[in-house]
Structure 1
Amino acid sequence: MRVQAGALGALGVAAVVAAGLAVPAAAEPTARPDDRSTLRVATFNASLNRAAEGQLAADLATGADPQARAVAEIIRLTAPDVVLLNEFDHDPTGQALRDFREKYLQASSVAGGAGPVEYPYAYTGLDETRPGDAEAGDTGLGGTAAEDAAPPTVPFNTGVPSGHDLDNDGVVGTPGTPEGASDGLGFGAFPGQYGMVVLSRYPIDTDRVRTFQNFLWRDMPGALLPDDQATPAAADWYAPEELDVLPLSSKSHWDVPVQVGNTTVHVLAAHPTPPSFDGPEDRNGRRNHDEIRFWADYVSGGRTDDYIYDDEGRTGGLTPGARFVVTGDYNADPLDGDSVPGAIDQLLDHRRVRDPRPTSGGAIEAAATQRGLNVAHRGDPARDTADFDDTAPGNLRVDYVLPSKNLQVRGAGVFWPMADEPGSELTGQFPSPSSDHRLVWVDVRVPGLR
């Protein structure tokens, strides 16, 4: 049964259940198939971002940050084999990630019923890092602390100054100011804010990782470049010299090959910009659409991906027949919210992509009790993955784990317990003690994994 627009708010939780909607049991998100050939892949916008550079590292260093403990407990309860964390502020020393793994994910002292989880492999955009690799004075990212005194190039576009007035407010913003955040190559108060990291129980083939941080938006054929409606010219919001430096990706796009037994699974990770915080030109909505389109073209094969080049200059997309999982917070709901119509459908309806359509009982309950804009939503509330402000945009499905069709899906879910179920203290109501997003997981069968 699908809840129709406007009907949910009047039903209430009990009526929703009585109406026949499937409400997953609390234990289901942690249940794993009794099959060693199954790989659990998850995505989680953990909201581990801070207003100032270095603040996340300082918070995590204590080992007692309450938000990080809640985020870690959710990961421990769901125990994915591979997980993409969005909005994990970049730390060029690698210490923030080491502390999160050692003091939160692996620590036996973290409150809650889930046991420690270990991820021997990680990709941060710079290098693969392993716990225990860093000896005294070693950053864990290659070279010693002295050799790395000058921070390496930040592997994200957020907070990187563009040198241009990208929001057309008449001012080239100073880095570290609100104006500077809007004029960055990607929105951010400092370089690497809202970064991401891939954690894995299986080896990451770093020699074959492809990143697309520097791919220029203008180089996408038919790009939805925004238009300055005050001029007669088309698609002219950005001046030619601005398009010479403006990347498509607001953070970065990563193809991270994970070696799972005898099989390579490509984790395609990204976090497109929210389709809001702009004007009638819809520059963010259009960029969001094209950031999503990039992966759709990348996995299409044929000549569709001929225009693509990575940060090493290699061209083309994914090899036909390759196994992949698209992961991330894509800031686009199929039916509701502010995204360009059809933006996420470029992936959901793709001939090589499978949509497992994960659900949760907590999402149904939240939409029914919070009401607000949720009442008018057209989408099925069971599939929501984010608990946003109920005045705008309401709860939405924006977080995705989408396997290729040559990977068999064994199960899928969203960690969003109902209020009377174990784990609900980790998600809560808006604002959440962990994140306004929910962890989404999918179990797939991987050939050759034993």
Structure 2
Amino acid sequence: MLLASIAQAEPLRIATFNTELSRKGPGLLLRDILRGDDPSVSSVVQTISAANPDIIVLQGIDYDLELSALTALADALTAAGAPYPYRFAAPPNAGRQSGVDLNGDGKLGGPRDAHGYGRFFGQGAMAILSRHPILTEDLQDFSTLIWRDLPSSLYPMIDGTPFAGAKAHATQRLSSNSHWSLPIELPDGSITLLTYHATPPVFDGPEDRNGRRNHDETAFWVHHLAGEIGTPPTHPFILLGDANLDPTRGDGRGDAITTLLAHPSIQDPLPDHPTVNWSQTGPMRVDYLLPSRDWQVVDAGLIWPKGDTASRHALVWVDLTR
């Protein structure tokens, strides 16, 4: 019976990784992956292969409607001995033009007038690779949620008037990229991935538009877990992604991630571990992998990519049993 119990407790390895593979135009990432000799792509393949997770959420990978770039990356991983037969990506807000002057500069059609910053639709988006079936029919995609509709929204107001005007206030979505709740089918039952990639809390003006939005993109999950937006998970979950927010360092409003880390349904396997090293700021913690408390954490760690053009983010992984 003891041996059977051990056999059933084979750890599940989950990972999140901001690949920083985004390119300057549509189709360029696919071109570079297919070339087979791009050093940044090779670094990502080597890093993921070294971690060898069962499920990995990726940020910084350009989206295209046919998932051609994601498929090419998965093919490269298969060739490297890390196959992922199940893949998922959905249309993001990154680069999706709103038709409204969202940043209040008096012009239309710029990258900051998209629902999420992007010089083209899908720039720097998200994706999931898995060795277990992805239950796409049960996806909850919160990417269309209007920012002002988030409870206690911090949308910037100037003398009682919405920043950039009423039309921007009524149009601006919360997600700079995406917010997904997506079940994965394991042999012993389903789990749910809660994942997102928040905007950097910088590159704005005194209104702190990006800082406030970054705060609210993380605060969203507290409202979701409370059942105020969408249907919260009823089985084990993992909340993971790039929050672009350190609890104590940087220009972001760290109380949002501090509150999330203290949530009673969540555990933090890697407290106080920096996950990115930016030349402007030095090491910071911005990437998170937070299992629900009904998981047993077996192990956890970081893998730092190698190479001059490698991502500045570490791949974060956790081994879990239940």
Same fold (TM over 0.5): yes
Amino acid at match of 1:334: P
Read off the aligned partner of 1:181 and give its amino acid letter: P
SS of equivalent residue, structure 2 residue 73 = helix
Deviation, 1:244, is 2.1
What's the secondary structure of 1:326's corresponding residue? strand
Aligned to 1:384: 274
Q: What's the offset of the Cα at 1:158?
A: 1.1
Give the deviation of 1:54 after TM superposition. Answer: 1.0
Residue in 1 that maps onto 2:266:
353
Give the counterpart of 1:435 among 285, 303, 311: 311
Q: Which residue of 2 aligns with 1:409?
A: 297
Distance across 1 between alignment mates of 2:42 and 2:291: 29
Q: CA separation in 2, counterparts of 1:42 and 1:50? A: 23
State, as a whole percentage, how many aligned pairs show the same letter: 41
Partner of 2:65: 92
Q: Secondary structure at the match of 2:239?
A: strand
Match of 2:232 in 1: 318
Instruction: Give 3-state SS (helix, strand or coil) of 1:265's partner.
Output: strand
Partner residue in 2 for 1:181: 111
1:297–1:317: 8 Å Cα contact kept in structure 2?
Answer: no
Aligned residue among 315, 340, 345 for 2:253 = 340
Query: Which residue is equivalent to 1:278?
Result: 204
Q: Following the alignment from structure 2 to structure 1, what is the Cα–Cα distance between the partners of residues 152 and 256?
A: 14
What is the 5 A alignment of 1:292-303? Answer: 292-301=218-227
**1:444 counterpart = 2:320:** yes
Structure 2 residue aligned with 1:399:
287
1:106 is paired with a residue whose SS is helix
Name the structure 2 match of 1:156.
Answer: 92
Instruction: Report if the CA contact (8 A) 2:74-2:83 is conserved.
Output: yes
Question: Which ranges in structure 2 are unaligned for 5 or more consecutive residues?
Answer: 1-5
Residues 332-377 of structure 1, C-alpha deviations (whole Å, 9 max, x = no match)? 001101111312112211111111116xxxxxxxxxxxxxxxxxxx
Distance 2:23 2:8 in 1: 40
Contact 2:289 2:317 survives alignment (8 Å): yes
2:28 matches 1:55: yes
RMSD between superposed Cα atoms in Å: 1.7
Write the distance in 2 (CA, Å) between the matches of 1:252 and 1:386: 21
The 5 Å alignment of 1:77-226 reads 77-102=50-75, 104-108=76-80, 116-125=81-90, 155-172=91-108, 174=109, 180-226=110-156
Larger Rg: 1
Q: How does 1:359-374 map to 2 (within 5 A)?
A: none
Q: Which runs of 4+ in 1 moved over 3 A?
A: 33-36
1:156 & 1:53 partners in 2: Cα distance?
14
Partner of 1:233: 160
Q: Distance in 2 between matches of 1:331 and 1:317?
A: 25
* SS of structure 2 residue aligned to 1:441: strand
Q: 2-side partners of 1:296 and 1:265: how far apart?
A: 19
Aligned CA distance change for structure 1 residues 333 and 119 (closer, same or farther; 3 Å): same
Q: Is the 8 A contact 1:57 1:91 kept in 2?
A: no
> SS at the partner of 2:284?
coil
Q: Do the aligned partners of 2:238 and 2:291 also contact (CA within 8 Å) in 1?
A: yes
User: Letter of the aligned partner of 2:262 in structure 1?
Assistant: D
User: 1:93 Cα shift?
Assistant: 2.2
Amino acid at match of 1:189: R
Q: CA deviation at 1:322?
A: 2.2
- For 2:3, the equivalent position in structure 1 comes to none
Is the Cα–Cα contact under 8 Å of residues 275 and 313 in structure 2 kept in the other structure?
yes
| Cα distance, 1:331 vs structure 2 | 0.1
Aligned length: 317
Q: Counting strand residues as a fraction of each chain, which structure ranks higher?
A: 2
Q: 8 Å contact 1:158–1:187 — kept in the other structure? A: yes
* Local SS of the residue matching 2:278: coil
Q: Which amino acid aligns with 2:286?
A: V
Gaps of 5+ in 1: 1-32, 109-115, 126-154, 175-179, 309-315, 359-379, 417-425
Amino acid at match of 1:259: E
The corresponding residue for 1:369 is: none
State the alpha-carbon separation in 2 of the partners of residues 95 and 434 from structure 1: 22
1:251 aligns with 2:177: yes
Counterpart contact for 1:206–1:257, Cα < 8 Å: yes
Taking the aligned partners of 1:407 and 1:272, their CA distance within structure 2 comes to: 25
State TM-score, norm by structure 2: 0.94
Question: Which residue of 328, 336, 339 maps to 2:241?
Answer: 328
Tell me the CA shift for residue 34 of structure 1.
8.5
User: 1:427 is aligned with what amino acid?
Assistant: K
Q: Is the 8 A contact 2:16 2:56 kept in 1?
A: yes
Tell me how far apart the structure 1 counterparts of residues 269 and 141 of structure 2 sit (CA, whole Å): 26
Residue 35 of structure 1 deviates from its aligned partner by 7.0
* 1:288 aligns with one of 214, 239, 264: 214
